[in-house]
Structure formats: structure tokens, C-alpha cells
Amino acid sequence: MGEVFRPKDVIKRRKFIEEALHDLSPSVRDTVIDILESWKGEESRDHLIKMLGKKNVEDILKSLESYVF
């Protein structure tokens, strides 16, 4: 059985992700959010690195790790 999240928690998580991605253009931000929400480990990380560069991806992932989903 999957995890169940309260709507308030989903909105809070989405806002936290959007804040972490505030420097990106809207279309890139939407693509990155889609990748983060369907995370597939190294495959997703590699795709993000190709889009944003290694330094940006490390900074984004570090800021997201501070938030417990």
C-alpha cells in the first residue's frame, strides 16, 4: 500500500520545491519539478545534470535534502 499525504503537506512540499528552483525559467522549472516528482535515482540525476550543470544540480539537491518529505 502506498503512502498517503495530506493535501496541506503536498502543497507545502510543492512550494518548497518551487522555492529551491526560483532561479530557473518557468519552462525549465516545470520540467525539473516533473523529474523530481518522478525520481528514478541516477537516471534522473544525470538528466538534471545535462539540463542544468553539475554545480546547479548539487545545490538544488542539497537544499531539497534539508526538507524531509
Grouped pLDDT means (10 residues each) for the chain, 69 residues: 64 81 91 91 95 93 75
Under DSSP, the state recorded for 24 is S
- What is the per-residue pLDDT for 45? 95
Q: Is the pTM of this model over 0.85?
A: no
Q: Specify the pLDDT at position 66.
A: 75
Q: How many whole angstroms separate alpha carbon 57 and alpha carbon 37? A: 15
**pLDDT value at residue 68:** 59
